[in-house]
Structure 1
Amino acid sequence: MDEEIVDSPNEWVAQHIRRFVETGGQARPGMNDLLLTTRGRKSGKLRRTALIYARDGDRYVLVASNAGADRHPAWYLNLVADPAATVQIGTETFTVTARTATPEEKPRLWRLMVATMPSYERYRETTDRDIPVVIVERTA
């Protein structure tokens, strides 16, 4: 039996996940949306959220912005605890390993993500938190 996946408790995100699934990943044509499923660091349950991504070669890049909140998003904390996850892009689902970009990698990847979603810069200005950039790579 497949393990149950719990969608984001944020209603807007949960609706977006449903649209993503219903449309085969085309919830917002022209946007680089993916679904990320992590293992809850406290509950042990599978947790799913929708995120914007950019490509960096064969890698996928995410921003743990939490809309500029002063705390990291749960999905990021889950990845720090367990970097193994699942990603769905379009109708393709695959396993990945995630890690936080190093200080040397981050400036270039941050610029890439701001070019993809300019609001990330505004989020950075509204928080004292250092917003992590996450690199996600397919596993063999």
Structure 2
Amino acid sequence: MAVKDSPTSWVNEHIQKYVETDGAEGHEWQPGVFTLLLTTKGRKSGELRRTALIYQKDGDNYVVVASQGGAPTHPSWYLNLQADNEAEVQVGADRFRARARTAGPDERDRLWKLMNEVWPAYSDYQKKTDREIPVVVLEPV
């Protein structure tokens, strides 16, 4: 099944470079800021959808934030994971299956701080919305 990449042009370009170079270009998006590619199954369409997300490692797991820049609604990829928590992840040249879960309150506080260390704008995004921005843990399977 073909994968549909993000409709946002700059994200789409980022994904294409990442895929074409096996992460040699795109894994480090900005100095010290690393991204992974997340492929989910569309909850309505059933199509595979791919996006690029900033991540941090937490032990063997990968942590991402469903910020959507502080928009009032959750990003589609997060809604897709709520419907089907199985996903495909690419980190650099490594590809693997993962199970996603939303971090609970205690864990979220620690992981939120971890993610804000690499991308301080998350705190600004949280101020722009009434929703609590989910922190998602991707557990390799």
Normalised-by-shorter TM-score class: over 0.9
CA RMSD of aligned residues (A): 1.0
Where does structure 1 differ by over 4 angstroms across 4 or more consecutive aligned residues?
none
- Residues 99, 138 of structure 2: 8 Å contact kept: yes
User: What 5-or-longer segments of structure 2 have no aligned partner?
Assistant: none
TM-score for both structures, normalised by structure 1 = 0.94
- State how many pairs are aligned: 137
For residues 58-111 of structure 1, give each alpha carbon's deviation from its aligned partner in whole angstroms, at most 9, with x where no partner exists: 110000000110000000000010000000011111000000001121100000
Q: TM-score, normalised by structure 2?
A: 0.94
Q: Residue 116 and residue 30 in structure 1: after superposition, are their counterparts in 2 closer, same or farther (change >3 A)?
A: closer
- Structure 2 CA distance for aligned equivalents of residues 56 and 30 of structure 1: 16
Q: Percent identity?
A: 56
Secondary structure class of the residue paired with 1:104:
helix
Aligned counterpart for 1:52 among listed residues 35, 43, 54: 54
Rounded Cα–Cα distance in structure 2 between residues aligned with 1:128 and 1:31: 26
Contiguous gaps of at least 5 residues in structure 1? none
For residue 138 of structure 2, what is the aligned residue in structure 1? Answer: 136
* Equivalent residue, structure 2, for 1:23: 21
**Offset at 1:9?**
1.1
Question: Which letter does structure 2 place at the counterpart of 1:79?
Answer: L
> How far, CA to CA, are the matches of 1:19 and 1:122 in structure 2?
28
In structure 2, how many angstroms separate the alpha carbons of the residues matched to 1:138 and 1:37? Answer: 13
